[in-house]
Amino acid sequence: MVSGAHPQPGWRWAALLGFALIAPVALPAGGGERRLPELRRRSVGEPLLSTRRQTLQAAPEHRAPALAQLPADQPLRVLRSWHSPAGERWLQVEAEARRGWVAA
CATH number (domain holding residue 54): 2.30.30.40
The band of 55, judged by pLDDT with boundaries at 50, 70 and 90, is very high
Is residue 57 one of the residues assigned to a domain? Answer: yes
Residues 70, 30 within the same domain: no
Q: What is this structure's pTM?
A: 0.56
Number of domains making up the chain: 2
Burial of 13 (0-12, 13-18, 19+ CB in 10 A): exposed
In this model, does residue 28 exceed pLDDT 80?
A: no
Task: Spell out the residues 6+ positions from residue 65 whose beta carbon is closer than 8 angstroms to its own.
Answer: 57, 58, 59
Residues 26, 56 within the same domain: no
In this model, does residue 57 exceed pLDDT 90?
A: yes
| Domain with 56 in it | 48-103
- pLDDT of 58-94, one tens digit each? 999 999 999 999 998 888 988 999 998 989 999 999 9
- pLDDT of 66-76, one tens digit each? 999 999 888 89
Residues 52, 22 within the same domain: no
Strands 89-95 and 75-83: antiparallel
Residues 54, 99 within the same domain: yes
Is residue 42 one of the residues assigned to a domain? Answer: no
